[in-house]
Amino acid sequence: EDQVTQSPEALRLQEGESSSLNCSYTVSGLRGLFWYRQDPGKGPEFLFTLYSAGEEKEKERLKATLTKKESFLHITAPKPEDSATYLCAPSGGGADGLTFGKGTHLIIQP
């Protein structure tokens, strides 16, 4: 059974304080790992897709990396508008859908 664990569950940072979010997964035959951002009461917003170990993707203050068992979302010099829940979702194949973790609730204080 596919499993996803995200840590920490919640993280409070000061504006400008860099950190990393972790996503540990067990998926047979990983086809891709997806990162999303979700604001309260809204649908998840797509951030990145990673397909193979060693791959990295960047967007503004965010960088996602992938190993065979983990993915990290690094946030550099965050701003209050980066506050959200960040979800990771590995996929073993399109018809299986995405297996989401519970997410990391990130709060950036000004």
| In the complex, least distance from residue 110 CB atom to other proteins, rounded to whole angstroms | 25
**Residue with Cβ nearer other proteins (12 or 31):** 31
Tokens of 9: 């569950």
- Angle in degrees, CA 48, 34, 100, rounded to 5: 145
CA distance 28 to 32: 11
Tokens of 21: 């979010």
Q: In the 8-state DSSP scheme, what is residue 16?
A: T
Taking CB under 8 A as the rule, which mask of x and - marks residues 84-103 in contact with other proteins? ---x-x-x-xxxxxxxxxxx
**Beta carbons of 108 and 13 less than 8 angstroms apart:** yes
| In the complex, least distance from residue 30 CB atom to other proteins, rounded to whole angstroms | 12
**Residue with Cβ nearer other proteins (4 or 75):** 4
Choosing from 14, 28, 29, 42, the residue that interacts with other proteins (CB under 8 A) is 42
- Residues near other proteins (CB under 8 A) are 4, 31-32, 34, 36, 41-46, 49, 87, 89, 91, 93-103
